[in-house]
Amino acid sequence: MIVGGGFAGHRCARTLSRLARGAADIVLLNPHDYFLYLPLLPQVASGALDPRRVAVSLTGTLPGVRLVLGEADGVDLDGRRVTYTDPEGGRSTLAYDRLVLTVGSVNKLLPVPGLTEHAHGFRGIPEALYLRDHLTRQTELAGASDDPAERAARTTFVVVGAGYTGTEVAAQGVRLTDALARGNAGLNGTYAGAATDAGEPVRPRWLLLDIAERVLPELDRRLSRTADRVLRARGVDVRTGTSVREARRDGVLLDDGEFVPSRTLVWCVGVRPDPLVESVGTPTERGRLCVDEYLTVPGHPEVFACGDAAAVPDLTRPGEVTPMTAQHAQRQGAVAARNVAASCGRGEARAYEHHDLGFMVDLGGFQAAADPLHVPLSGPLASLVTRGYHLAAMPGNRTRTAADWLLDAVLPRQGVQFGLVRSGSVPLDSAAPELARVPAPGGG
């Protein structure tokens, strides 16, 4: 049984299915029926990609694997059973001979007053759809307002966290809101009755905050400088060494005492392991399950863990554990599958060891920062390499994704909101950001 269908879980199930050749019953327990290609989620929020492009069918790409829809909420190691809640609220259990835990991660929270009430994370499709609607709605409401202060607040967007996600959300988001503002008569100065200052256009304002000294602090400084330069050229107000002291309905109070009127706060500070990890009852390191180099949980040779849920020893950096990245998760999933097969008498177990192949950050348009095989690149070449890497890494939807990129390059984006995901459906403190919260029957 594999719990979790993310980068590690999907790769594990796919590899194990190929190795087993029908000789094993492989079960994948996951809350939804798709694998989310998380690196492209900012492009969904900015309208560059249809959300279906980043949602790859599990049943369509995992032949021979039985999908069980449900949210795992308990593991009984002695009884070798996993309890879960299905999409309709029913509780069930599944037995296993071998267990692979790949439950991933959720939003990392900090004790900031008002954060969970007024901010939104960015870990799932519901959050991306909500943010796209929200950016469009705020721009339209600003264009309809006669109050300059309200217009300014509604067109001010604050992103906290300048890592991968935050940097890409700001880089992609500013392109969307600039396009929306240019097409809005109340903001572009073309409407004679608009309460703009002397008919001057109103340009949306984006702030990217981080307590680190630079954007993308976990990457090479050359990539950081490239991303910083692109962001600032697009008008993003990049503030390093700065964070949020308090989140309010009408704005954000920064730790330097400045109050920024805004209706948008996107929280991209980081991630933490899924809460299921705590219920397993085995030792953890920084919230991640301790495993050996073979991805086995000590004392339980039938239990494996990898991806964001596991503290996997990094054999390339003795004494450290592998970072929580998709690159490591995918490769750990493949190794876990081979070691599960080896534990059943097919093949030999192998230790996990991987030297990173470089990192890539898509900044939208023809801009990116990348260092494939540690060769620093920027501009259109980096963008081409980055998108080529994503297409190669995706287990499906490649042609449709490439088509969306081509159309986005030659056609204007469609600035409409559907209202399918409301604010209350994607709370920041959710342990399942991939699922929109649905009100109970009769709950209004």
Q: What is the pLDDT of residues 326-340, one digit of tens each?
A: 999 999 999 999 999
pLDDT (0 to 100) of residue 444: 40
Residues with Cβ within 8 Å of 287's Cβ and at least 6 positions away in sequence, in order, are 272, 273, 277, 278
User: Looking up tokens 């991987």, which residue turns up?
Assistant: 354
pLDDT (0 to 100) of residue 163: 94
pLDDT (0 to 100) of residue 196: 45
Q: Please state the pTM of the whole predicted model.
A: 0.93
* Number of helices (H), then strands (E), in the chain: 12, 26
Enumerate the β-bridge partners of residue 66.
27
Residues with Cβ within 8 Å of 89's Cβ and at least 6 positions away in sequence, in order, are none
Per-residue pLDDT averaged across 56-81, rounded?
A: 96
Q: How confident is the model at residue 45 (pLDDT cuts 50, 70, 90)?
A: very high
> Residue 32 carries which DSSP code?
S
Q: What is the pLDDT of residues 227-248, one digit of tens each?
A: 999 999 999 999 999 999 999 9
Q: Which long-range contacts (C-beta less than 8 Å, at least 24 apart) are formed by 140-149?
A: 140/180, 140/184, 140/417, 142/184, 142/186, 142/187, 142/202, 143/181, 143/184, 143/185, 143/186, 143/187, 143/194, 144/186, 145/186, 145/195, 146/195, 147/195, 148/195, 148/197, 149/261
The side-by-side arrangement of strands in the sheet containing 205-210 is 237-240, 205-210, 156-160, 264-267
pLDDT (0 to 100) of residue 148: 93
pLDDT (0 to 100) of residue 413: 86
Rounded Cα distance, 160 and 265, in Å: 8
Q: How many CA atoms lie within 13 A of 215 on its CB side?
A: 33
Q: What is the pLDDT of residues 188-206, one digit of tens each?
A: 887 755 444 446 889 999 9
Contact 42, 168 (CB under 8 A): yes
H-helix or E-strand containing 105? strand 105-107
Q: How confident is the model at residue 356 (pLDDT cuts 50, 70, 90)?
A: confident
Q: How confident is the model at residue 357 (pLDDT cuts 50, 70, 90)?
A: confident
Rounded Cα distance, 206 and 155, in Å: 8
CA 294 to chain CA centroid, Å, is: 27
Contact 231, 215 (CB under 8 A): yes
Report, in angstroms and rounded to the nearest whole number, the Rg of the chain calculated over CA atoms.
23
Per-residue pLDDT averaged across 247-272, rounded?
A: 96
Residues with Cβ within 8 Å of 90's Cβ and at least 6 positions away in sequence, in order, are none
Percent above pLDDT 70 for the chain: 97
Q: What is the pLDDT of residues 146-192, one digit of tens each?
A: 999 999 999 999 999 999 999 999 999 999 999 999 999 999 887 75
pLDDT (0 to 100) of residue 51: 95
Rounded Cα distance, 340 and 349, in Å: 8
Q: How confident is the model at residue 361 (pLDDT cuts 50, 70, 90)?
A: very high
Contact 336, 306 (CB under 8 A): yes
Backbone torsions φ then ψ of 229, nearest 5 degrees? -65, -45
Q: What is the pLDDT of residues 398-442, one digit of tens each?
A: 999 999 999 999 998 888 888 888 877 888 877 777 777 765 544
Per-residue pLDDT averaged across 383-397, rounded?
A: 95
pLDDT (0 to 100) of residue 192: 59
**pLDDT > 60? residue 306:** yes
pLDDT (0 to 100) of residue 443: 44
Q: How many CB atoms neighbour CB 440 within 10 A? A: 8
Cβ burial of 312 (10 Å; 0-12, 13-18, 19+) is buried
pLDDT (0 to 100) of residue 195: 46
